Amino acid sequence: MIDLKLTEEVERRIKFLIELAVREERRDQVATMLMRVLSNYATVGRDGSSAQIKNLNKLVSTEAKNILLQNDLKHYRSLTINEHPKPLKETWLWLQTNARSITTNDVWNEFKSNPMVTISKSENSKLRAIGMSDNGNIITRYAPIGIDIIRLDQSPSKLKR
Question: Domain map of the chain by residue range?
Answer: 8-159
Segment 48-68 shows an average pLDDT of 98
The span from the CA of 76 to the CA of 142, in Å, is: 20
Phi/psi at 116 (5° precision): -65, 150
Whole-number Cα distances in Å, 104 to 44, 60, 95, 144: 19, 27, 11, 33
Average per-residue pLDDT for the chain? 95
Q: What is the dihedral of CA 64, 54, 50, 111, to 10 degrees?
A: 100
Indicate the pTM of the whole model: 0.94
| pLDDT of amino acid 2 | 53
Write out pLDDT tens, residues 106-142.
Answer: 999 999 999 999 999 999 999 999 999 999 988 999 9
DSSP, collapsed to helix, strand or coil, labels residue 131 as coil
Where does residue 101 rank: exposed (0-12), middle (13-18), buried (19+ CB within 10 A)?
Answer: exposed
